[in-house]
Amino acid sequence: MSFRKRLLAGLTLAIGLGALVSAAQAQDVPSLKGKRIGITVAGTEHYWDLKAYQGQIDEVKRLGGIPVALDAGRNDSRQIAQIQTLIAQKPDVIVEQLGSAPVLAPWLKKIRAAGIPLFTVDTISPYSINDTTSDNYSIGEKLALQLASDIKGRGNILVFNGFYSVPVCAIRYDELKLVLRAFPDIHIIQPELRDVIPNTVQNAYSQVTDLLQKYPNKGDIAAVWSAWDVPQVGATQAIIAAHRTEVRTYGVDGSPDVVKMVADPNSPAAAVAAQQPYLIGKTAIDNVARYLAGDHDLPPYTFVPAILVNKENAAEAAKELGQS
């Protein structure tokens, strides 16, 4: 545990330094002229996905490369077919963003077996040369600590855990469980909830509405946690509709509508860990450009800083995130 803490502290420092360094080096990114960069993403209907996708495409174009950009529309079969065709196209690099790890693993392996360098965005994979992502360990930990402290270390919480197969969601969930070990009076209501795609908001709304009826008394439920912020939107709306605004909601990503909800002093949305998806996409491509220019000494992870937005810092954070 303490070793992990030290590691995290070290990483945080490294990220801080990395951010400074990358800011200084922004103009030094090598050109991608004549290079074809395959970009395959699981879907783009969510703010985070779309921004990270656009960040990649824009940066490839800015650096003079040709993006072969493929959006699978949240359909695993389609993404696999797109990756299969992409391998046959032999681009200079393939960048993969999100999706289910077990589904993707054999196909990411095939990318490497075909001799094509693989980079990932927000996807941990042994086949990836570099994964550009937020530090999800720190995100999960900070969000869980904020929750625990807001509810004074006591109460029952609802947890949406539908996407444990997506590695970043698994990390955030595991960090929540780790933090909760120190708070024996916080209990996760069983069974856990499953968030779904599509109709995430409506589905979360109806699930939370049902559970608010099942636990009708003030104090029965202290908070709702989800690994991203779209279920958080549905949960927050359901809580408002049921006049149970003592229940707080927590999520990850920081879509502008959720940051606004957190900024509203009357909203049950208590905190959201806001990432910088556009910058993540852009940074991933900068790493690709460095690699293709001969820098084969890239770190396995590049962390882009995230901000925990809560009731106190929401207005300021929105500015920092470029959302206001």
Partner 1 sequence: MSSNLIAEQAPAFLDSSADLEDRETRRARHRSQIIRLGSIAALVAVFAYFGVAAPGFANLGNLANIVEQSTVLALLAFSMSIVVLGGGGDVIRGGIDLSLGANLGLCAAAFTVASNAGFSDPVAVAITLAVGAAVGLVNAFAVVALGVLPLLATLAVMNICGGAELVLTQNTVISANSPLLSYITGASWLGLSMTDWILVGAAILLIALVHGTRWGLRLQAVGGQRQAARAAGLRVSAYLTGTYVAAGLLAALAAIVQAARLSGSSPGSGDILLSVVLTSLMSVVFSRRLLPSIGGTLLSVLFIGGLINGFQLLNVSSYWVNGVQGVLILFVVAVRSLSLRRGSV
Tell me which residues touch partner 1 (CB under 8 A). 66, 68-77, 80-82, 84-86, 88-90, 100, 102-103, 105-106, 162-165, 194, 196-197
Closer to partner 1 by Cβ: residue 72 or 171:
72
Closer to partner 1 by Cβ: residue 85 or 149:
85
What's the min distance (Å) between Cβ of 83 and partner 1? 11
- Between CA 256 and CA 57 the distance in angstroms is 21
Task: Tell whether the torsion through CA atoms of 6, 8, 12 and 18 is positive or negative.
Answer: positive
- Between CA 99 and CA 58 the distance in angstroms is 21
Burial class (CB in 10 A: 0-12, 13-18, 19+), 323: middle
Closer to partner 1 by Cβ: residue 64 or 73:
73
What's the min distance (Å) between Cβ of 24 and partner 1? 34
Closer to partner 1 by Cβ: residue 70 or 223:
70
> What are the structure tokens assigned to 223, written together?
């908070």
Which residues have a Cβ under 8 Å from the Cβ of 18 and sit 6 or more positions away? 302, 303
Closer to partner 1 by Cβ: residue 64 or 219:
64
> What are the structure tokens assigned to 87, written together?
């391998």
What's the min distance (Å) between Cβ of 98 and partner 1? 13
Which H or E run includes 217?
none
What's the min distance (Å) between Cβ of 143 and partner 1? 22
What's the min distance (Å) between Cβ of 58 and partner 1? 15
Cα three-residue angle 245-313-20, rounded to 5 degrees: 140
